[in-house]
Amino acid sequence: MLACPLVPSLLGTINSMSADRQSQSGWLWGLTVAIVLFVMEFILLSALVPTEWSNRVQEQEAEWMRQTLGAKTAQAIFERSESWSEQLFVRSGLMAGSYDLLLPDEVRIKKAPELGKLAESPIWPLIKDRLDVIWQSLDMAVQRVVHLLAWWPFLAFALVGGILDGLLRRRIRQSGFDYPSPLAHRLAVGSLLWIGVGVSLSLLLPVPIPALVAPMLATLIALTVGAMVTQTQKRL
């Protein structure tokens, strides 16, 4: 008879542990999918995107940024992204190392004359063209990251509003004996996960992205977080 009251508590603990495991496995699965898709996008980018198209994408996106944010703000973003790209890729030697590793140079040809005919192969200009596209795309990815970070005050304000709204709705539901839905909570968490995956993939997306996508994304994140807070179950 003494063990009976412990049964609901034990079952609740087991369900909570099971939900935590499912949440952890969901995040791990989402991270794995994001990495795989990012690598596949990088490979397709390096193989298929023409250099002229990459230049047009970067110019169009920069023009949209100037029109939406103003020339002064856009210029600040360009300067910050250029500084980050220089520190990450140029000063670190990654860019120069990639060209030295994959392309023949005059010094190597002089040391090994038998490589002269190999150096005349038409494949080397193609490899250089692909390297140019890759590094230009990475520069554009850094610029998009800087652009997203420039909206952090708006994101912080939206998150605070979303969390407060979620807490208020949760209290109202509890006062009306309307309990949170585990399914809705899981869907909200999954939505946040896929938003993160989408943002990661969009960094290398070879199409121009309007500047207003950033505040729209921040609003979507805030709404999703608010829904997640509303549907969060009370832990004992």
Spatial contact of 232 and 175, defined as CB atoms under 8 Å apart: no
Find the range with the poorest average confidence among 5-19, 69-83, 154-168, 210-224: 5-19
Across the chain, mean pLDDT equals 81
As a residue count, the chain comes to 236
Arithmetic mean of pLDDT, 103-130 = 70
What's the whole-model pTM score?
A: 0.78
Q: In whole angstroms, how far apart are CA 93 and each of 46, 107, 110, 135?
A: 20, 19, 24, 13
Alpha-carbon span 78 to 211, nearest angstrom:
13
Find the range with the poorest average confidence among 88-97, 98-107, 131-140, 166-175: 98-107
Got the DSSP string for 131-196?
A: HHHHHHHHHHHHHHHHHHHHTHHHHHHHHHHHHHHHHHHHHHHHHTT-PPPHHHHHHHHHHHHHHH
Tell me what pLDDT residue 234 has.
67
